[in-house]
């Protein structure tokens, strides 16, 4: 199925490259003697970590049955986070661990 192939490609290609890039940045951060550079690179690594987590969330959603995905807890929480971003002026961070939709019913 296309959804499974897309999920596999996202994991095998995109997440692995982002992870490798993060490792290269962390190595550069350790070697840097300029505090501003270390701080900036650290922020970039943090953003990559958030991006990887968001892609993992998307992969998990792709692996769900289409009928399940729109009404699952994960989808509802993400929708609320996105709606809260405008009045807050920033997008709140979030992290899902495990199969949230199947564990919470």
Buried b (16+ CB within 10 A) or exposed e, 59-81: bbbbebeeeebeebebbeebeee
Residue whose pair of structure tokens reads 């968001």 in the numeric block: 54
The rounded distance, in Å, linking the Cα atoms of 10 and 15 is: 6
Per residue in 27-68, pLDDT (tens digit) is 999 999 999 999 999 989 988 887 888 888 788 778 777 665
For all residues of the chain together, what is the average pLDDT? Answer: 83
Domain boundaries, the chain: 1-63, 66-105
Contact of 10 with 55, CB cutoff 8 Å:
yes
- Report percent pLDDT > 90 for the chain: 28
3-state secondary structure of 67: coil
How much is the pLDDT for 49? 85
The rounded distance, in Å, linking the Cα atoms of 39 and 31 is: 12
8 vs 83, more confident: 8
What number of other Cβ atoms are within 10 A of residue 29's Cβ?
Answer: 16
């Amino acid at each position: 199925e296309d959804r499974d192939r897309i999920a596999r490609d996202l994991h095998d290609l995109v997440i692995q490259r982002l992870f490798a890039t993060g490792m290269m940045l962390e190595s550069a951060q350790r070697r840097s003697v300029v505090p501003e550079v270390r701080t900036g690179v650290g922020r970039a690594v943090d953003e990559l970590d958030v991006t990887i987590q968001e892609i993992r969330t998307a992969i998990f959603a792709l692996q769900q049955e289409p009928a399940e995905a729109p009404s699952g807890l994960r989808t509802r929480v993400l929708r609320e986070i996105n709606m809260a971003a405008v009045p807050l002026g920033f997008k709140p961070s979030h992290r899902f661990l495990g199969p949230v939709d199947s564990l919470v019913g």
